[in-house]
Chains A and B, each alone.
Chain A
């Protein structure tokens, strides 16, 4: 039977395979561009201080040592700054949810006059560089006596996160079906009870995901934290302030330490990335 068939045209198949190889090569190139710098700073961070000043540096450091990282961790201010960063991040998440989620719920469930204006205001606020306002904010905080506190940085970061929190939580509440809420009201829940007992638990996974985004935003914010604080810096602000007099080893170790959380954040959040950063935030 095989003898009667005309010769098989394998050109499309080969073209397909060539295309797949081309795509794979391009993917690997982009991945290398993204990964190599991180590997390099990782290698620099685990080099011994002596190996760091070598020139030309070999790719694999001539001497591994934890001294570089240890020196960064033991440098004045690093540990308290880490604590401040964590505190500010957690407070910002809580405060922005407390203030923003109800607004998101209102946007998702209600039709009212002024809704459009409110949404435009939030979109505009999201697009504007609120951080550059840290200078007048610093003056304000000085007047109120809260300058240079974890609380003041929390307020700034919550302002930064507010538009996104409102818009994301609105889209989360929209995705909770109204039927269940109505069912709860039929069975005698008040509007508030229905929201608290039925809608909120169903929206919780989405809200948790958006909280991580808020935390990352606060964790990475640098200008505002650097302007508003003096003694109680967050970690990026501390590293920025130390850049001037710090040795190269401190910079590499600091850069590496700032990157590590990013690896974890994205690993945890990769399922939500496209939805949250790609769709909701536009």
Chain B
């Protein structure tokens, strides 16, 4: 109530309307986010003579595109669940307050600031045909010449390399979200369950995880959307041999000089993300409602 007393008269309050403070950011986002969406739609659906689906036909008839779609979805389906489990395990380890926690925490969060490209190059030094992994295999006598992990004929091992690099790079993001969530969970419930003789596993499954659910949902969806954008890791490891959706946008624009098809590929990523994002906002809303 006291706040109201300090409020300035109505006239000057209009002058300092919050929309004045919000306007620059709105203009900025409309000009550099809203307008490009419109532009992308125009360029993907039209050419000099008007409306056309030519760009889409070219995109879908390109063998790389369907492969890219399949690889991207495969990557998400494998990487995201592994990262969630790993991140929860890492957060529980942090909760156990081990020695040298600060050191461990530092190492675990470094990949947050490592770019996708750098992560790809790091794992290239491991998975390259003359890299460290093959050196190890050969010098231990497990293999004579090593495995061609990144050869374009070995889709399976390429997928494996990209999956490991992605897990290495992006688990820390999920980890940080889950750690933040786990710190907000009151200890009382866990202690109560302990008093009543619940095993560690029961406490995790019935007490900790249900309370972590909001954080896990957020992490799940954010990671899914970010994984849809993955491209530089695969680019650094395999070039175009392991195509991903955003990588195709890059290829069509930079190497094939075809903005229309590039826009179409970008729109596919955008629509997939939009579906995930709307789902994300809905679950957030429901959470606030309850």
Contacts and interface: CB of A to CB of B under 8 A. Distances in A.
B249 interface: yes
Give the one of B17, B21, B122, B181 with max A CB within 10 A.
B122
Contact of B109 (A106, A158, A266): A266
B137 to A, nearest CB: 8
A279 B55 CA distance: 41
Majority secondary structure, B binding face? helix
Nearest to B267: A132
B53 interface: no
Contact of B104 (A31, A59, A279): A31
Contact of A243 (B16, B225, B235, B284): B235
B99 A24 contact: yes
Contacts of B102: 270
A277 B180 CA distance: 9
B179 interface: yes
Interface residues of B, number: 103
Nearest to B16: A191
Given A138-B253, A274-B179, A30 B90 contact: yes
Interface in A201-234: 216, 219-223, 226-227
A37 B122 contact: yes
B262 A282 contact: no
Contacts of A133: 33, 36-37, 40, 266, 270
B130 A55 contact: yes
Given A240-B232, A278-B179, A103 B263 contact: no
B250 A227 contact: yes
Which of A59, A132, A192, A275 has the most chain B CB within a 10 Å cutoff?
A132
Nearest to B114: A262
A198 interface: no
B151 interface: no
B249 to A, nearest CB: 6
Nearest to B177: A278
Given A41-B122, A55-B138, A139 B274 contact: no
Given A136-B36, A258-B118, A223 B273 contact: no
Contact of A259 (B8, B122, B124): B122
Interface stretch (B56-64, B188-196, B275-283): B275-283
B124 A99 contact: no
A197 interface: no
Contact of A261 (B100, B113, B116): B113
Interface stretch (A4-12, A74-82, A248-256): A248-256
Contacts of B37: 133, 136
Contacts of A273: 109, 112, 176
A134 to B, nearest CB: 8
B290 to A, nearest CB: 16
B113 A265 contact: yes
B125 A255 contact: yes
Q: Which 4 A-B pairs have the closest CB atoms?
A: A255-B121, A278-B180, A220-B115, A136-B39
